[in-house]
Chain A
Amino acid sequence: EIVLTQSPVTLSLSPGERATLSCRASQSVSNSLAWYQHKPGQAPRLLIYDASNRATGIPARFSGSGSGTDFTLTISSLEPEDFAVYYCQQRNTWPRLTFGGGTKVEIK
């Protein structure tokens, strides 16, 4: 089973700051990695697929990079609505999927 480890667990930042979130896979997943945003009581939202492709309607301040085992989600300048929990998910073992443990981006 592929394990995804996200770091840090919590990121405390102010609006306007840059957020850099990491996702590390226990073995290579090629570029088969997605990122989601999740707010309490809401539906998760797809941000990035195939490591670096923004989903429809996602603002350009969100970007993804990486391949193999190391991936990064960057939010270039945090907006108030960006404070949430972010998850990475690998599909390299489709039809079995795996999520990372999540990174909470909170207001400093």
Chain B
Amino acid sequence: EVQLVESGGGLIQPGGSLRLSCAASGFTVSSHYMTWVRQAPGKGLEWVSAIYSATRTSYSDSVKGRFTISRDHSKNTLYLQMNNLTAEDTAGYHCATLTATGVGDSWGQGTLVIVSS
């Protein structure tokens, strides 16, 4: 059974950095396309980033240059390094597996990031 468990969220000051983790079981992270999606309070889902093929990545315009998606085969974990955080980054962050054509077929419950002074 595929399972995804996010962690690493918390309260962080504006301008700070945070690394989110998504621990996977039931499949191998390094052989799957993966994505991060967030939901700000009272808002809808927003796509953040994806990692596909061996090393290729993509980002939304709102996080490009500040966030980095990566994965560790030995830990079977997906990461999202978030730098220069602003209040607009406050959200619940979900990781998900993607089919080869960009459909999110398994999802985690999310981890909450609050950017506030």
What's the Cα separation between A94 and B103 when bound, in Å?
10
Most A CB within 10 A of own CB, among B39, B60, B104: B104
| A49: chain B residues within 8 A (beta carbon) | 99, 103, 105
Which B residue sits closest to A94, measured CB to CB?
A: B102
The dominant DSSP class at the A interface is loop
Chain B residues near A38 (CB, 8 Å)?
Answer: 39, 45
Interfacial residues, chain B to chain A (CB-CB below 8 A): 4, 35, 37, 39, 44-47, 50, 52, 56, 58, 60, 94, 96, 99, 101-110
Q: A89-B47, A96-B60 are in contact. List 19 more A-B contacts (CB 8 A).
A: A32-B102, A36-B45, A43-B108, A44-B45, A46-B104, A46-B107, A49-B103, A49-B105, A87-B45, A91-B101, A91-B102, A94-B101, A95-B58, A95-B102, A96-B58, A97-B102, A99-B44, A100-B44, A102-B44
> Mind listing 12 A-B residue pairs with CB under 8 Å?
A32-B102, A34-B104, A36-B104, A43-B110, A46-B105, A49-B99, A87-B44, A94-B101, A95-B50, A97-B47, A99-B45, A101-B44
